[in-house]
Structure 1
Amino acid sequence: MNEIDYLDEEITLELHAQGKDAWNKYMREHPDTNVKFFSDLRNNPDFAGFIFPRKANFARAEFLTSHKCNFSGAEFRGECDFSGAEFRGLSDFSRAGFSKKCDFSFASFQGLSLFEECNFRNECNYTHAEFLNVSFNCSSFYKKADFIKCKFNVLNPNLTIPAKLPRDYRENKKSNENFIQDFRKNPIWYHDRSVYFVSTIFHMNIDFGHSLFAGQAYFNDIEIQKVGSFESCFFSVVPSFLQTKIPCDVFNRIEVAYPTQKSTLWNKENRPPNESWVKKLFSKTSNESATGYYRKLKQLAIESKNHDQEQKFFAMEIKSKRFHEETSFFSMALSVAYGSVSNFGFSILRPFMWLVFLTLLCTACFYCLSSTKISGLLFFTHCPTAYPSGVCGDNLNIYSNNYSPVQNLGHLFNSSPITA
């Protein structure tokens, strides 16, 4: 394979320093120019509106600035490679055009990332990428898009301060803990830890297989025209697929956690902390819109003929109504009873165990009542009307205290009244 001839690093940095007009003029005059940035990029790298006529190589580049890395409106006419790149602050690729293949695999976006209104004309690869907060609103993917094993809304707990940061910045961030706290306080870095694919169109295949979403994910009004896959995805918060247009068989073994509290950073197993069955039974969702989200997921599961998923989302829909749509004690009591007795129709063993338990309980109660001795029956207060004088006294010897109520009733029906 022939090696790619890149533009000299000094010329590249000099053209970049002269601004967009000088850069684009040079690139139009030299349409076969391949660009590679060898140095770490800091001090607000601005590539807004830049034209990259051939391959643009930013592989393993480190954008160390705590402010904005701007690629908005950039035109990548050749292949672009951001594999393994690290973006420390806000990264803006809004309205960027990708004419050839683009590679963001293993890239780390540790701030707010904007890919809004982008056009991906060819295949794009985000495999194993990590996002803290990202938006792909109103973007179009015309070829295959891979988001396999991505991590969304996850802040790297092993993040350390590189020695290449400015000294005055390092002195104020002496520990990894303080550095992460700065992420949380700064809205540019932290934002609301959500994923936005609102009004996004995927003209070809899209694959989110085995991806992890630790925060709220919005897939509202997306359109998947070919094949889409969310196989084995895990959502820490119920995602929104309202008004989506996606084909059947999209969801397969998708896992959605019941949102009983606000999202937190994930533990080592990439799962929320386990809750006791009591908390799960009487839990209240922190998301008031969760009922509609679960209802939409149930509808998508029905369309894809995935009845196991349908039952699971149906159960979560009923649970999410508590304290929101259902506020009366009676309705919530029925909901809790339905879940505890049959697990919302999902369990076969649980109703059977309840049947066995109630059968044994009723049998024991009946045995105890049938073994109880009584002093007499109120029925015999009306004995003179049923039997002639002198007979009732003899019959009372039959219904004595030596018999149980059931035995007394037996003697009663076996005895025939004496007519006058």
Structure 2
Amino acid sequence: MTEEVEQKRPTLEGEAALRLWRQGPDAWNSWIDQHPGWNISFEGVDFSTERDPYGNLSFADYHFGDGNVNFSNATFGKGDVRFFGAIFSGDNVDFSGTNFGDGNVIFYDTAFGHANMYFAGATFGTGNVYFSDAKFGNGDLYFYGTNFGDGDLYFYDTTFGKGEINFSQTQISNLHFSPETTGTSHIKAEGLSIKGRAIFNLPPSAARLKSFNLHSASFDGPLTLRGNLSIIPDLRGTRYSHQVDLSDLKVKLPRISPTLGWPPKLSLVAEDPQDGARLRRLKEIAETNKDHQAALRFSADENRAKRWIETSWFGSVLDMAFSAFSNYGQSILRPSFWLGVIFALSMYAYKAKQIPKLATDGWADWVQAALLSASNSLPFLPQSRELRTGALQALYDTTDPSSFIDALMITQGVLSFIFLFLIGLGLRNRFRL
């Protein structure tokens, strides 16, 4: 909407708006149907004397048309404020600086359309604030500097569009953020302060998030983060005094194709150079809370994020190998498979280099090749030396075969040691207490 068009919109405000509101939702909605493009302004209005005999203040089922709606710096006094079932269809809804007083504030099942919602600097009292089942479109939602008092803030089964959600510098007693869907691209909560429990239970649609920023937030109660994200949430600088549960948080490191250069980068590169530090913080939190499996996941992605950026070229190549052959010590199957491959290839090579005159028509030669390969793969077993000597004698008629066989045995021994180490590392990480 252009500024010129906005200036042409008439505004229902002040005492005229109050008189129409007092007549109830039917009269109000009828007027809106006839004047859908008008702006509505209750800016600075004191509603504390407008409550019903039960102490409630209701905007339930009110339709606010296609214009902007302004409740900035209004005062609602003590008691519940109800907006459930209300419909906003304009571009902006402004509750900046509003004082909601002591009582529940209910935006249950409210439709906000594609409006930008502003709660910056608003103050809530001792009641709870409900945005459960509310429907937000593609507008932004700003709670910057909002004080939610001593009540809880609920976002159960809320629907969000593509707009930004901003909780930066906001103070909340307890937060329950469990939306049904979210198409939002950014959740900002820098400097967020939560006195009690905080739950971020993100739906599958949160995979579309481009950033989730909790930098410098403080949590004085338990914090739970759940969801499958395609980005790395930023918890750097956070302060917490209770357990942080990241066991159900799965993240995917965004990576892109490398640019041309020398020496060449042999794999994908982290899209954001800061992701390594973000993952390091997630790993630190998981380790502090004794969540070893989550710490392993974050540590693996941290190494991937540092590859080619913080890690040297040779170190990055070794990191690629560590990832490919054992998933950073998280897999037992991968190194076991490669140990078997080394065993089989070595056995075939030993048999292929057997002295022809010693070859037989049966399986005895293959058995000897298998014993020689096994003795090199498992040299720490007490029988390995005796088995190796017997196999060499049977295959080559000597215990000192050719230089090729010596080199092959050394290579097999080194590779087997590496894969045995990776198997042991995987077992340790799997059964760590």
- Residues 1:226 and 1:368: Cα distance change in structure 2 (over 3 Å): same
Task: Determine helix, strand or coil for the equivalent of 1:208.
Answer: strand
| Whole-angstrom CA distance in 2 between matches of 1:341 and 1:18 | 65
Structure ID, larger Rg:
1
Call closer, same or farther: CA 1:295–1:408 in 2, change over 3 Å.
closer
Larger relative contact order, structure 1 or 2 (CA cutoff 8 Å, min sep 6): 1
> Is 1:130 the equivalent of 2:159?
yes
1:234 aligns with 2:262: no
Which sections of structure 2, spanning at least 5 residues, go unmatched? 1-20, 32-38, 258-265, 358-392, 402-433
Q: Which residue of 2 aligns with 1:92?
A: 118
Q: CA 1:211/1:197 → structure 2, altered by over 3 Å: closer, same or farther?
A: farther
Give distance in 2, aligned partners of 1:258 and 1:29. 53
3-state SS of 1:20 partner: coil
Taking the TM superposition and a 5 Å limit, the aligned residue runs for 1:124-203 are 124-131=153-160, 132-142=163-173, 144-149=174-179, 151-152=181-182, 154=183, 193-203=185-195
Say whether 1:352 aligns with 2:322: no
Do the aligned residues in 2 keep the contact of 1:130 with 1:151 (CA within 8 Å)?
yes
In 2, the alpha carbon distance for the partners of 1:208 and 1:313 equals 19
CA RMSD of aligned residues (A): 3.0
Are 1:114 and 2:142 counterparts?
A: yes
2:418 matched to which residue of 1?
none
**Residue identity opposite 1:36 in structure 2:** F
Deviation at 1:37, TM superposition (A): 4.5
Unaligned ranges ≥5, structure 1? 1-5, 156-192, 263-280, 374-402, 412-420
Return the offset for 1:405: 8.9
- Of 82, 86, 99, 1:57 maps to 82
Tell me if the contact between 1:7 and 1:34 (Cα under 8 Å) persists in the aligned partners: no
Q: Amino acid of the residue matched to residue 90 of structure 1?
A: N
After superposition, the Cα gap between the structure-2 partners of 1:211 and 1:409, relative to the gap in structure 1 and judged at 3 Å, is closer
Contact 1:102 1:124 in 2 (8 A): yes
% identical equivalent positions? 20
Which of 385, 392, 396 is the aligned partner of 1:406? 396
Q: Does the 8 A contact of 1:140 with 1:202 survive in 2?
A: yes
Q: Judging changes above 3 Å, is the alpha-carbon distance between structure 1 residues 108 and 324 closer, same or farther for their aligned structure 2 residues?
A: farther
Counterparts of 2:72 and 2:41 in 1: how far apart (Å)? 13
Matched, 1:290 2:285: no
Residues 1:104 and 2:119 are matched in the alignment: no
Alpha-carbon distance change, 407 to 146 in structure 1, aligned in 2, over 3 angstroms? same
Distance 1:33 1:349 in 2: 64
1:9–1:331: structure 2 CA closer, same or farther, 3 Å change rule?
same
Against the structure 1 CA distance between its residues 127 and 326, is the aligned structure 2 distance closer, same or farther, given a 3 Å change threshold?
Answer: same
Look up the match of 1:364: 348
| Mapped partners of 2:142, 2:399: distance in 1 | 84
Show the counterpart of 1:319.
Answer: 304
Q: Is 1:27 equivalent to 2:54 in the alignment?
A: no
Query: Which residue number in structure 2 is paired with residue 340 of structure 1?
Result: 324
Could you list the per-position Cα deviations for residues 295-344 of structure 1 after superposition, in whole angstroms to 9, with x for gaps in the alignment?
1110011011010001111111111122322352x222211110111110
Q: Which residue number in structure 2 is paired with residue 391 of structure 1?
A: none
Q: Is the 8 A contact 2:62 2:86 kept in 1?
A: yes
Are the equivalent residues in 1 in contact too, given 2:159–2:179 (CA < 8 A)? no
Partners of 1:409 and 1:224 in 2: CA distance: 69
CA drift at 1:57: 1.6
| Pair 1:251-2:246 in alignment | yes
Is 1:72 matched up with 2:96?
Answer: yes
TM-score in terms of structure 1 length: 0.68
Matched position secondary structure for 1:370? coil
Q: TM-score, normalised by structure 2?
A: 0.66
Select which of 28, 40, 43 maps to 2:63. Answer: 40
Whole-Å Cα distance in 2 between the matches of residues 126 and 410 of structure 1?
A: 75
| Structure 1 residue 404 displacement after superposition | 10
For the structure 1 residues 371 and 207, does the alpha-carbon distance in structure 2 shift closer, same or farther, using more than 3 Å as the test?
same
CA distance in 2, matches of 1:233, 1:282: 27
**Could you tell me whether the CA contact under 8 Å between 2:41 and 2:69 is conserved in 1?**
no
Distance 1:18 1:139, change over 3 A: closer
- The superposition leaves residues 42-85 of structure 1 with CA deviations (integer Å, 9 ceiling, x where unpaired) of 3110111111223222113222113x211111111132111122
Q: How does 1:267-282 map to 2 (within 5 A)?
A: 282=267
What displacement does 1:252 show?
2.3
Query: In the alignment, is the contact (CA less than 8 A) between 1:7 and 1:35 conserved in 2?
Result: no
Provide the rounded CA distance (Å) in 2 between the counterparts of 1:243 and 1:150: 29
In structure 1, the residue corresponding to 2:141 is in which secondary structure?
Answer: strand
